[in-house]
Structure formats: C-alpha cells, structure tokens
Amino acid sequence: MSYVVRPADPADAQGLSVLGDAVAAEPEGWLATNNGWRTVGDERRYLRAIRRYPHAGVFVAEAEDGSIVGRLSLARDQHPASRHVADLGLMVAQSHRRMGIGRALLAAAVEWARANDVRKLELHVFPYNTAAIALYEEFGFEHEGYRKQHYRRGDEFVDAILMAYDVTAT
Ligand SMILES: CC(C)(COP(=O)(O)OP(=O)(O)OC[C@H]1O[C@@H](n2cnc3c(N)ncnc32)[C@H](O)[C@@H]1OP(=O)(O)O)[C@@H](O)C(=O)NCCC(=O)NCCS
C-alpha cells in the first residue's frame, strides 16, 4: 500500500472528519478529544483559515484510493516568549498503522517548523499509549515532563507525558 504526505486542502475536510471520528471512537481513548471529532464544516473552515498561515499547519497522508489515512496538525504557541514552540497532534487510520506514515508525517512537521522559525515541537501523550511513545522516542523526541491529571475525559482527569523535539539539533 502506498501513500503520499502533503499539506491538507479544505477539500480534505470530509476525509479528515471520518478519520478523526474513527480514531476518537477507538475504545483505548488515544486522543484528548473523546466526544467526536470536529464537524466537516468546522474542519473545512479551519483548513481555509490556515492556508499560507505561518502559525498553524495540517498535513495529511492520502492513500492510493484517495482516502485520508493520516493527519498531523501543528499550532504555534501563542505566548510572545514561546513563539518558537509549536504543539502537534497526530493520528493514523487503524488500517494503515506500522507502515511508516506516522514517521513520515513527523518528518513533514519538522520541515514545516524549519520553514516557519519554530525551534521546538512539543506534544502530550497518554502514558498507556505505548505505540505513540515508541514512535516519538524512535523519531528523537525526548520526555520533558509528566503532567498529572492534565486532561479531562468525561468525569475523569488523566495524566499525560510531555515530549519535545529540538528542531535545531539535526
Ligand atoms: C501512534 C501512531 C500515530 C503511530 O503511527 P504509525 O503510522 O503506525 O507509525 P509508524 O508506522 O510510522 O511507526 C514508526 C515506528 O514507531 C514505532 N511504533 C509505531 N507503532 C508501534 C507499536 N504499535 N508498537 C511498537 N512500536 C511502534 C516503531 O519503532 C515503528 O517503526 P517500525 O514499524 O519500523 O518498527 C498510530 O498508532 C495512531 O494513530 N494511533 C492512534 C492515535 C494516537 O495515538 N495518536 C497519538 C496521540 S499522542
């Protein structure tokens, strides 16, 4: 199975919404969002708003049949003293995991960071998400901290690991 990684287009909104809903519905609860992904309309508006915008980006992995099987989003930190930091979110369709898509999307994120004066990429991952942690470690992310009860999932507060990648290091 082959795929391409490219910047998202507003026309990808439908495919991204299907992917987001599917991954958010996985019982393990990989994502901080667990009450459904954003709607197609919201996704389309967001993708339109960030076109050629240096403070946020979305990349997709598109499979041979045109379906969207991966999403990576980036958003620059809003604080004036940490504008060199961007937060990232990542998901790959269950049917397309362990094919290198996550790694390829992270490589696109690093390129985006370099082109937009971002020096550091950071993310939160749940401690039980061993697949994601393995990917981030293999890619070169470092553990920077442990955030106790950082996310709310329904009535529960759950811990998260903070990881970061120094874009200037390589
Ligand atoms: C985490 C996730 C993005 C990984 O994406 P992926 O496309 O399957 O990852 P890749 O194929 O690029 O994996 C690259 C490397 O990461 C590591 N890795 C990835 N998944 C792994 C797993 N399940 N177990 C162990 N190592 C794993 C391996 O070193 C792998 O290299 P290899 O396949 O040559 O051994 C994917 O599992 C996913 O979308 N999960 C649900 C959503 C999610 O957890 N998002 C992250 C939230 S922080």
- pLDDT tens digits for range 36-77: 678 999 999 999 999 989 999 999 999 999 999 999 999 999
What CATH number does the domain containing 57 carry?
3.40.630.30
pLDDT (0 to 100) of residue 22: 95
Per the structure, the complete domain to which residue 85 belongs is given by: 3-119
138 CA closest ligand 1 atom index: 29
pLDDT (0 to 100) of residue 52: 83
Q: Is residue 138 part of a domain?
A: no
* 8 A C-beta contact, residue 56 and residue 73: yes
Check whether 35 has a pLDDT greater than 90. no
Q: Is residue 159 part of a domain?
A: no
What separation in Å is there between the alpha carbon of 170 and the centre of ligand 1?
A: 22
Residues with CB under 6 A from ligand 1: 23, 30, 90-92, 97-103, 123, 125, 129, 131-132, 134-135, 138
Q: Is residue 126 part of a domain?
A: no
3-state secondary structure of 94: helix
Check whether 115 has a pLDDT greater than 90. yes
Q: Is residue 46 part of a domain?
A: yes
Q: Is residue 127 part of a domain?
A: no
Closest CA to 165 of 85, 59, 100: 85
Q: Is residue 65 part of a domain?
A: yes
Closest CA to 70 of 79, 78, 61: 61
Q: What are phi and psi of 159, to 5 degrees?
A: -75, 160
pLDDT (0 to 100) of residue 91: 98
Share of the chain above pLDDT 90, in %: 91
CA distance 148 to 167: 26
Q: Is residue 74 part of a domain?
A: yes
Q: Is residue 24 part of a domain?
A: yes
pLDDT (0 to 100) of residue 153: 86
What separation in Å is there between the alpha carbon of 51 and the centre of ligand 1?
A: 28
CA distance 166 to 75: 16
What separation in Å is there between the alpha carbon of 138 and the centre of ligand 1?
A: 10
Number of domains present in the structure of the chain? 1
Pairing of strands 85-92, 120-125: parallel
pLDDT bracket for residue 81 (50, 70, 90) = very high
